[in-house]
Amino acid sequence: MRKSVVEPLSADAIVVEHLVVRRGGRSVLPDLSVTVPAGQVVGLLGPSGGGKSTLMRAIVGVQQVESGDVTVLGRPAGHPDLRHRIGYVTQSPSIYADLSVRHNLTYFAQVLGASPDAVDRAIEAVDLTSHADASVSTLSGGQRSRASLAAALVGDPEVLVLDEPTVGLDPVLRRDLWNLFRRLAHDEGRTLLVSSHVMDEATRCDRLILLREGEILSDSTLAELLARTGATDAEEAFLRLVDRAAEARPTDAASKGGPA
């Protein structure tokens, strides 16, 4: 969408330090620290229920946290100045089903104060030009996902936080969306944090954060992850890290001072 490459203001677009989130008396993120480099596609991978969505909500400033700091583009998460600089796509489509794609994007563009041509640029970016005037209720699941992404793009954000945007899509649509993600990062300088529980999507990311039970098992490139674990693919590497973590964790009896 942008006509020129954006130069990152700093090496890291997102900085999370000692983040603690509890929900229903349960620790979801016990003490999480991580950074997301600017201008890259960073995959946040791990099983469902591991804390990925909670971390993403904290980054966009809509998650109540107990302690810790989250900084995005040099501002605290949720700061008013970030409203136009972050695009957020939730797992559920965040657009109005009774409106057309174009009407949805026109509404969001007006709310964000985007330029008049931003709507057509966003529609073109997600390859929905032929369905621009169709009601969202008539679209397929994949088309709705792309329409939600277009709604996030219409404000021309510097950071995109995408919560499992490819779930339920066929292989062709998944490939096309990942090609778009890489184009947004590498050609336009945006930062993308993309969550998924599909491990083979790791090959499409510049960097991987593997999250399980609120703890980061790895934060590296895929090549570094495979070299570290001796695995042949991301799924095998993840399972090896899980096994290592289990072996290193003390048993309940040992942690209480009893016999192991």
pLDDT single digits (tens) 162-172 = 999 888 778 88
Question: Beta-strand (E) ranges in the chain?
Answer: 12-23, 26-37, 41-45, 67-72, 75-76, 86-89, 159-163, 191-196, 207-212, 215-220
Average pLDDT, the chain: 88
State residue 56's pLDDT score.
97
Give the residue with greater pLDDT, 59 vs 245. 59
Name the band, by pLDDT with cuts 50, 70 and 90, for residue 198: confident
Q: What would the two tokens of residue 171 be?
A: 């292989």
State residue 244's pLDDT score.
86
| pLDDT tens profile 141-197 | 888 888 999 999 999 999 999 999 888 778 888 888 899 899 999 999 999 999 988
> Does residue 57 register a pLDDT over 70?
yes
Instruction: Compute φ and ψ for 159, nearest 5 degrees.
Output: -125, 135
What is the helix (H) or strand (E) element at residue 154, kind and residue range? none
State residue 260's pLDDT score.
37
Q: Which pairing describes strands 67-72 and 12-23: parallel, antiparallel, or unpaired? A: antiparallel
| pLDDT tens profile 84-143 | 899 999 988 789 999 999 999 999 999 888 887 999 999 998 889 999 999 999 998 888
State residue 7's pLDDT score.
47
Q: Is the pTM of this model over 0.85?
A: yes
Instruction: Report, as an integer, the average pLDDT of 237-257.
Output: 72
